[in-house]
């Protein structure tokens, strides 16, 4: 049995009579034929009866970017770029399938290791035929050669097993944790800190955490902090705190605390999280116990964070339970987590989630090119859309006075909206209510049928009569209607009556 060296391998499919096509999966192996590493993009997997599981790869070869002024770097720091092979001696002529690739190779699944590969981007330009591997060529050559020697050389394998038996047990972190950190968390410079936490927790199978989130308003600039403390082993203090941004709420900060502690847990572990946030517990229970449609899920606040948590739990095969703790009740570790969260509010270590790494999140909307809407989209967009509509409305030339009053805060549009939506009638819909709403809108838009408007439209009927019916001292217009002394007296009387009534 080969020692566990932590190299991930392609998932083996069930035995059947058909090959299975694959997308966006990469692998590498050591080829004794050329005494070097071989890279490839997995096209198909097969596991025919009586045969070993195989993978069919589109062969890729290293590519050197000569346009980069820093291409003469050390082997470890040189970007590991790949490009499709146009044909070589490794080509498997017996492959029957996609004819577009020029060079196809086949290997046993157990003799390959999986890779994390993306399309190469440079200066915001995509190069469709150039790919970048998230590990250096020198490291992968060593990994594939070691994997090959373990599987083919019994003497090498025995020496390795002997050396491991004479040393303390080394718990090797799961590659899944690293992949989740790389795909879900931002920015990249916080990865190493999470790698250290993963190493420190790798030997545990039952883990307890106290988590907390905090929201702080500093000169109308809200900041969210979160923190957690690991309590399964009190002899070693393992704790973490940080800050996050966008959609400030204490619940969102609490969710980030839960997410960051789960992402460093070893696979197949039992997790117990102590928290004072009942909202977090209720939402987690609802998402875990009830089958919600994607549409219903998108109405849940912070759904991107919750789907990231579900992805972490599924890929690490975690069993998670929550325990409610009363806030500020003197529980030692809960108070420590609270302090970590408050310290996180002032931290410059701002951590966020990349929605592109959340598999269940098929799409998202960005507002103002920098804010991802992680709320009920309809309710959230209603506010800026209403502001946009009213800004367009008051920008019309006849409403310049309203625009001036709006910018000088003479008009309170929040109360104006309540006034327009108020229904003084018993029925929800009626002719009287429609006329009432129409009159309110005309009042707010300077569109009342005053005499100046009627004279403009029906000159022959009014014969130029445009004097105000109330004061008879000025031309009746929408502007004059609200500053006429007689109108003001009537409005004051109405306001006094309502003040006494309510």
Of 110, 146, 115, nearest to 40 by C-alpha is: 115
As a whole number of angstroms, the distance between CA 270 and CA 232 comes to 11
As a whole number of angstroms, the distance between CA 266 and CA 177 comes to 8
Statement: residue 216 has pLDDT above 60:
yes
Q: Which of 18-32, 57-71, 358-372 has the highest mean pLDDT?
A: 18-32
- Name residue, tokens 């040189």: 78
Stated pTM of the model: 0.54
Whole-Å CA distances, 75 to 26, 64, 93, 189 = 21, 12, 34, 21
In this structure, of 400-404, 408-412, 498-502, the range with the lowest mean pLDDT score is: 498-502
In this structure, of 52-56, 86-90, 145-149, 368-372, the range with the lowest mean pLDDT score is: 368-372
Q: What is the pLDDT of the chain when averaged over all its residues? A: 85
Tell me what the mean pLDDT of segment 480-485 comes to: 88
Tell me what the mean pLDDT of segment 397-425 comes to: 84
Give the chain's end-to-end CA distance (angstroms, integer). Answer: 84
As a whole number of angstroms, the distance between CA 20 and CA 199 comes to 35
pLDDT bucket at 317, cuts 50 / 70 / 90: very high
Q: 380: burial class by Cβ within 10 Å (0-12, 13-18, 19+)?
A: middle
Statement: residue 501 has pLDDT above 80:
no
pLDDT score at 499: 75
As a whole number of angstroms, the distance between CA 62 and CA 88 comes to 14
As a whole number of angstroms, the distance between CA 152 and CA 2 comes to 10
Of 339, 376, 359, 347, nearest to 247 by C-alpha is: 376
pLDDT bucket at 14, cuts 50 / 70 / 90: confident
Cβ contacts of residue 336 below 8 Å, gap of 6+?
Answer: 210, 229, 239
pLDDT score at 4: 46
As a whole number of angstroms, the distance between CA 28 and CA 40 comes to 6
How many helices (H) and strands (E) the chain has is answered by: 17, 18
pLDDT score at 162: 66
Which tens digit of pLDDT belongs to each residue from 244-278?
A: 988 999 999 999 999 999 999 999 999 999 999 99
- Name residue, tokens 């219903």: 296
pLDDT score at 309: 96
pLDDT score at 1: 36
Cβ contacts of residue 204 below 8 Å, gap of 6+?
Answer: 232, 233, 266, 269
Tell me what the mean pLDDT of segment 384-396 comes to: 85
As a whole number of angstroms, the distance between CA 216 and CA 471 comes to 56
Give me the percent of the chain exceeding a pLDDT of 90.
29
Give me the percent of the chain exceeding a pLDDT of 70.
93
Statement: residue 331 has pLDDT above 90:
no
In this structure, of 69-78, 140-149, 365-374, the range with the lowest mean pLDDT score is: 69-78
- The DSSP code sequence of 114-168 is EE-EEEEEETTEEEEEEEEESS-HHHHHHHHHHHHHHHH-HHHHHHHHHHHHTS-
- Name residue, tokens 């008009």: 411
Residue scoring higher pLDDT (11 or 285): 285
pLDDT score at 325: 92
Statement: residue 378 has pLDDT above 90:
no
pLDDT score at 48: 83
As a whole number of angstroms, the distance between CA 262 and CA 316 comes to 9
pLDDT score at 305: 95
Rounding to the nearest 10 degrees, give the CA dihedral for residues 14, 15, 19, 24.
Answer: 30
Which tens digit of pLDDT belongs to each residue from 109-148?
A: 888 999 988 888 776 666 778 898 988 888 899 888 888 8
Of 340, 198, 330, 200, nearest to 267 by C-alpha is: 198
Phi-psi domain of 345 (left: phi exceeds 0; alpha: psi -120 through 50; beta: other): alpha
Alpha carbons within 13 A on the beta-carbon side of 113:
25
Contact assessment for residue 302 and residue 247, using Cβ atoms and an 8 Å cutoff: yes
Statement: residue 193 has pLDDT above 80:
yes
As a whole number of angstroms, the distance between CA 413 and CA 390 comes to 10
pLDDT score at 2: 39
Q: Which domains does the chain have, with CATH numbers?
A: 20-165 (no CATH), 175-372 (3.30.420.10), 450-502 (no CATH)
């Amino acid at each position: 049995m080969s020692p566990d060296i932590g190299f991930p391998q392609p998932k083996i499919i069930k035995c059947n009579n058909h090959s299975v096509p694959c997308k966006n999966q990469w692998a590498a192996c050591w080829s004794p034929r050329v005494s070097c590493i071989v890279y490839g993009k997995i096209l198909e997997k097969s596991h025919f009866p009586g045969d070993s599981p195989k993978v069919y790869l589109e062969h890729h070869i290293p590519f050197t970017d000569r346009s980069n002024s820093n291409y003469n770097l050390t082997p470890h720091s040189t970007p590991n770029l790949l490009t499709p092979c146009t044909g070589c001696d490794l080509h498997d002529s017996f492959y029957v399938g996609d004819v577009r690739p020029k060079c196809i190779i086949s290997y046993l699944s157990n003799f390959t290791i999986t890779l994390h590969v993306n399309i190469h981007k440079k200066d915001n330009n995509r190069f469709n035929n150039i790919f970048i591997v998230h590990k250096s060529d020198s490291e992968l050559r060593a990994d594939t050669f070691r994997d090959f020697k373990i599987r083919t050389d019994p003497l090498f394998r025995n020496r390795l097993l002997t050396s491991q038996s004479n040393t303390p047990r080394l718990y090797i972190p799961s590659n899944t944790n690293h992949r989740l950190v790389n795909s879900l968390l931002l920015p990249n410079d916080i990865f190493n800190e999470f790698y250290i936490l993963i190493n420190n927790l790798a030997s545990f199978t039952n883990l307890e955490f106290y988590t907390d989130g905090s929201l702080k308003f500093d000169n109308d600039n809200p900041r969210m902090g979160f923190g957690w403390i690991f309590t399964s082993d009190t002899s070693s203090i393992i704790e973490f705190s940080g800050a996050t941004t966008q959609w400030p709420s204490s619940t969102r900060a609490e969710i980030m605390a839960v997410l960051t502690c789960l992402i460093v847990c070893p696979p197949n572990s039992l997790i117990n999280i102590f928290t004072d946030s009942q909202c977090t517990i209720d939402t987690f229970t609802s998402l875990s116990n009830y089958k919600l449609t994607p549409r219903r899920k998108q109405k849940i606040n912070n759904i991107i964070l919750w789907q990231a948590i579900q992805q972490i739990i599924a890929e690490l095969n975690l069993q998670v339970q929550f325990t409610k703790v009363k806030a500020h009740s003197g529980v030692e570790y809960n108070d420590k987590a609270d302090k970590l969260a408050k310290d996180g509010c002032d931290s410059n270590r701002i951590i966020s989630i990349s929605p592109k790494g959340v598999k269940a999140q098929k799409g998202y909307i960005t507002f103002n090119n920098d804010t991802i809407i992680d709320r009920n989209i309809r309710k959230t967009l209603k506010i800026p859309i209403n502001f946009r509509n009213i800004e367009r409305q008051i920008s019309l030339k006849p409403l310049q006075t309203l625009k001036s009053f709006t910018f000088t805060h003479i008009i309170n549009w929040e109360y104006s909206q309540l006034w327009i939506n108020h229904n003084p009638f018993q029925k929800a819909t009626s002719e009287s209510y429609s006329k009432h709403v129409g009159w309110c809108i005309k009042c707010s838009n300077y569109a009342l049928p005053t005499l100046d408007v009627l004279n403009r439209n029906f000159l022959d009927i009014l014969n130029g009569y445009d004097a105000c019916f109330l004061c008879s001292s000025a031309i009746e217009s929408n502007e004059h209607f609200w500053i006429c002394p007689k109108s003001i007296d009537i409005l004051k009387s109405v306001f006094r009556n309502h003040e006494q009534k309510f």
